[in-house]
Amino acid sequence: MASLFSWLLGRSSQGPPIFPDDEVLPMHPFDDTATLRDYTMIWTFRYDEVLDPDMLGDSLSQLFQMEGWKKLGGRLRLRPDGKTEVHVPRMFTKERPSLYFTKEHHDIPMAEHPEASKLPASTAEPTTFPGARKFASLALGPGAPRTIQDYFQKDVPQFSLHVVTFTDGTLVSINFNHVTSDLGGLKAILKAWQSILAGKPEEVAPFVGHKDDPMAGLYNDETTVKPTLADTQLTGWRIPVWALRHLVETWWKGLDARMICIPKKVIDAIVQEAKDHVALKGNADLFVSENDVIMAFCNKVVASGLASHRHIANLLVIDPRTRVKSVFRDDTAYVQNITSSAIFLCQAGEAITAPTGEIALRSRVALDEQCTEEQLKATMKYAYRSMMDAGNPLVLGKGVDSVLMVVTNWSKAGFLDQFDFSPAIVKPSDKNRPGAKSGHPIYYHSQSLGTGMVTMNMVTIMGRDLEGNLWLSGEFSAGISIFPIHGVRTSSKRLPTLGSTPTFEMIITISLIQVEEVERTIRTPLTQKWIGVDMLSAMSSDIEQITAALHAYGAALKSGNVNQAVNLYTSDGVILPPHFTPSAGTKGLHEAYTRIFGSIELEVTFHIDEIVVMSPEWAFARTTASGTKTMKATKESEPHSNQELFIMKKVEGEWKIAS
């Protein structure tokens, strides 16, 4: 019941005290989203040198006290309307610091530490490793915030720094919630941090976005150009159908988080063969980059677990900072979420059979066409309007059975080359690594601490290490071959042969019918009982049970009966309010509805607009409620109406509310 209870669900417990002298600053529109709130990021950098933890902590703390930059030392606060704002102390103190800093020391080499000894390292063969989330114990100090609620409920800065020293190296971890910044913002922080560390604060770039949103120059542009990706936007009924299918697939199969290291000789051969294929076309203007080839490679991976007719919607994350010169300056720090996107579609059957170079070329064409300044402005204007009108970001794909794969390229961040912490060295490295630079990281990884409510196939191109090996990070459905390791191992002189993986294809009753029939079915009023679909006898019982469950839910709303409402959910049921962290599980639901029914009284008429049974175990329903809402504290009443989308799950023969 998202729109009805969103503001109430945000008040999960008493928050920290309000300090009246704090400067209150806004969060910008593309920062304060429900999706980003789900992701508290850990970034861990490994050094062969022993570094001084206090020098690192003091210098970063100093940065967050500088003009403009002090916004990053502020505290995230949740307003009554569900929006986030930043409360910045007028003066940072020991009790209210600009940085949450912790450190620990182990008087042993990393190789003898039970967790640090397992950190990924390159090998002679392509190898997979656990994702960064598995090493969170090395990244977070005691009491460090882990979820958005920790930031809302505690008086903690937005950034935490945890430094772990060993006798032969150091792990430096900087952690923050994604609402604060993206990769481009982190890069600006690291660059400014090393200037402070080197005793050159005058080299720190000016910070913009303290109050006004620098990104407004993108989404408020007067362009009338239609963005290319608008043709792939899912709208109307297609969004809930796609979302339900996506939820079922990810819940059913789960996601597997992995890092992979592909040795230099192997990735060089893969890239060269793809480029040779493009060169055979005889057009000197055709070109594919290494990242285009990796994109194509990942499409083959994902396609190995799909039916051949399904499409992969490749969403490429783009940083406009370096591409839109009329809005962004090179000498300025933009620490926020400034991302756009490009998209290209690839049918699974094509991805399997087409040469890697052919798919890579499709990626290159999409980037060239969609990353011009004009197209990026049009895209962001389109995305901003969608978010303001519907409260949701764009959902892109080709049909309701599209599979979304988000790809982001971190290789240009230059983490191993550009960030010099040598002023903090207290013990030089005794290792002889080819290409290593003193005071520079020799490895890094990053991942969110939680998976979030919206899970998807995700690929991060982390770049090459000092030896030229390629590192990738990814989260893929557990039912597909995460990376075709055995195919890669067979030869470094040709493209890998993808092993056959058991194809997972959900038994979905409606979404595999022709789209025209789906549209006709979904738009048929419930009273017409699914005319046109040859499944009336099989589904009528399900529809009747779902109808009864939803009417029971409507009765629980009117009576304010907490137990009745909660008993209608699955044991892991979820309320998904916009702008707030969901309440999940029987205990969480009970607490949420206790708050709700203790605060308001509803006198509403509950209508079921449609029910769609997607599979023997899954369905969704749309409802509307209208009437009055009375605040118990003030006895004030006001008209109330809302529309809701329910996801239903059959558990032991009984239909329950999943969310």
Give the separation between CA 55 and CA 607, rounded to whole angstroms: 62
Query: What pLDDT, on the 0 to 100 scale, is given for residue 191?
Result: 97
Element (DSSP H or E) covering residue 637: strand 637-651
- pLDDT exceeds cutoff 60 at 97: yes
Query: What pLDDT, on the 0 to 100 scale, is given for residue 545?
Result: 87
Q: Tens digits of per-residue pLDDT, 342-395?
A: 999 999 999 999 999 999 999 999 999 999 999 999 999 988 988 787 656 666
Q: Tens digits of per-residue pLDDT, 289-307?
A: 999 999 998 898 888 878 8
- pLDDT exceeds cutoff 80 at 576: no
Q: Which two tokens stand for residue 429?
A: 């490295």
Contact between 157 and 63 under an 8 Å Cβ cutoff? The reply is no
Give the separation between CA 151 and CA 560, rounded to whole angstroms: 31
Cross-strand pairs, 516: none
Q: Using CA of residue 208, residue 213, residue 214, residue 215, what is the dihedral sign?
A: positive
Residue reference for tokens 């290792």: 431
- pLDDT exceeds cutoff 70 at 5: no
- Which of the residue ranges 135-139, 502-506, 598-602 has the most confident prediction, judged by mean pLDDT? 135-139
* Neighbour tally for 374: CB within 10 Å: 12
Which one has a higher pLDDT value, 576 or 20?
A: 20
Contact between 327 and 307 under an 8 Å Cβ cutoff? The reply is no
Q: Which residues, at least 6 apart from 372, have a Cβ–Cβ distance to it below 8 Å? A: none
Contact between 189 and 316 under an 8 Å Cβ cutoff? The reply is no
Contact between 45 and 165 under an 8 Å Cβ cutoff? The reply is no
Q: Which residues, at least 6 apart from 98, have a Cβ–Cβ distance to it below 8 Å? A: 61, 64, 65, 70, 72, 73, 89, 92, 157
Query: What pLDDT, on the 0 to 100 scale, is given for residue 359?
Result: 94
Mind listing the domains of the chain with CATH numbers? Answer: 21-108+148-208 (3.30.559.10), 227-489 (3.30.559.10), 515-657 (3.10.450.50)
- pLDDT exceeds cutoff 60 at 611: yes
Section 235-264 average pLDDT:
74
Residue 430 Cα distances to 48, 50, 554, 656, angstroms: 8, 10, 69, 61
* Neighbour tally for 339: CB within 10 Å: 18
What single letter denotes the amino acid at residue 187? K
Query: What pLDDT, on the 0 to 100 scale, is given for residue 637?
Result: 80
What band does 11 get if pLDDT is binned at 50, 70 and 90?
A: very low
Section 639-652 average pLDDT:
79
By CB atoms closer than 10 A (0-12, 13-18, 19+), residue 525 is exposed
Contact between 396 and 416 under an 8 Å Cβ cutoff? The reply is no
Section 405-426 average pLDDT:
93
Closest to 641 (Cα-Cα) out of 586, 602, 591, 600: 602
Query: What pLDDT, on the 0 to 100 scale, is given for residue 514?
Result: 26
Closest to 287 (Cα-Cα) out of 357, 213, 193, 207: 357
DSSP assignment of 149-170 equals: HHHHHS---S-EEEEEEETTEE
Contact between 462 and 413 under an 8 Å Cβ cutoff? The reply is no
Query: What pLDDT, on the 0 to 100 scale, is given for residue 544?
Result: 81
What band does 644 get if pLDDT is binned at 50, 70 and 90?
A: confident
Section 78-102 average pLDDT:
96
Strand blocks (E) in 89-223:
100-105, 127-130, 160-166, 169-177, 207-208
What band does 453 get if pLDDT is binned at 50, 70 and 90?
A: low
Query: What pLDDT, on the 0 to 100 scale, is given for residue 2?
Result: 42
Mean pLDDT of the chain: 82
Contact between 290 and 464 under an 8 Å Cβ cutoff? The reply is no
Q: Tens digits of per-residue pLDDT, 46-85?
A: 999 999 999 999 999 999 999 999 999 999 999 988 899 9
Q: Tens digits of per-residue pLDDT, 457-486?
A: 789 999 999 999 999 998 866 555 544 443
Which one has a higher pLDDT value, 550 or 305?
A: 550
Strand, helix or coil at 98? coil
What band does 499 get if pLDDT is binned at 50, 70 and 90?
A: very low
pTM (2 d.p.)? 0.75
Of the chain, the percentage scoring pLDDT greater than 90 comes to: 49
Query: What pLDDT, on the 0 to 100 scale, is given for residue 643?
Result: 67
Section 35-53 average pLDDT:
96
Closest to 348 (Cα-Cα) out of 403, 424, 389: 403
Q: Tens digits of per-residue pLDDT, 386-412?
A: 878 765 666 676 777 788 889 999 998
Query: What pLDDT, on the 0 to 100 scale, is given for residue 504?
Result: 23
Query: What pLDDT, on the 0 to 100 scale, is given for residue 582?
Result: 62
Q: Tens digits of per-residue pLDDT, 125-181?
A: 888 899 999 999 999 999 999 999 999 999 999 999 999 999 999 999 999 999 999
Q: Which two tokens stand for residue 615?
A: 């599979």
Q: Which two tokens stand for residue 198?
A: 């080197």
Which one has a higher pLDDT value, 538 or 383?
A: 383
Query: What pLDDT, on the 0 to 100 scale, is given for residue 285?
Result: 79
- pLDDT exceeds cutoff 50 at 12: no
